[in-house]
Amino acid sequence: MSAPTTYRQPVSRLWFTKKRSYFIFLLRELSCVFVGWFAVFLMVMLFAIGRGAAAYQNFLNWASSPVVVVVNLVALAFLVLHTVTWFALTPQAMEVRLGGRQVARVKMVNVAGRTVPAATVVRVGGRRIPPGMVIASQYAGLLVVSAFIVWLVLR
């Protein structure tokens, strides 16, 4: 008598196209490749700056080639997706404790067209700050830091 076998339901190679949430999940995971690309790109740029004006000009000539420009534009789109999904996940991933006990996730919030559970993140004056405000504050912080970097570069 042979050993019993377990039935495994076949899974399509395009399983991630069945639901929008699966597809966004896959794109978010793929975005890490482009985060890495930008990190390497910036390190190479800093290396070229450190080697002098001629090396930096060679880097700029390479960076202005159409292939690199297209790769950077695609990477920028993936980085925006990565940032938006990361900020949307932050209130869900936080473990919030008030008075030594964990606060349960009971509030539902609409983020990027999806309804997701959110944690009570902060209380100010006894009133709960909604997760949408936490996300908005992250975008505000991103804007302030970006404006500071632009100011540093353009001054």
Query: Where is pLDDT greater, at 38 or 96?
Result: 38
Range from 37-46, 124-133, 134-143 carrying the lowest mean pLDDT: 124-133
Query: Where is pLDDT greater, at 119 or 23?
Result: 23
CATH number, span 15-154 = 1.20.1300.10
Mean pLDDT of the chain: 81
Q: Is pLDDT of 155 > 60?
A: yes
Domain ranges of the chain: 15-154
- Kindly report, residue by residue over 61-115, the tens digit of the pLDDT: 999 999 999 999 999 999 999 888 888 777 666 655 556 666 555 555 565 666 6
Q: Which residue has the tokens 């996730």?
A: 105
Range from 6-20, 50-64, 71-85 carrying the lowest mean pLDDT: 6-20
Contact 87, 135 (CB under 8 A): yes
Listed in order, strand segments (DSSP E) in 72-131 are 97-98, 101-102, 107-111, 114-118, 122-124, 127-129
User: What's the pTM value of the predicted model, to 2 decimals?
Assistant: 0.64
**How many whole angstroms separate alpha carbon 63 and alpha carbon 85?**
28
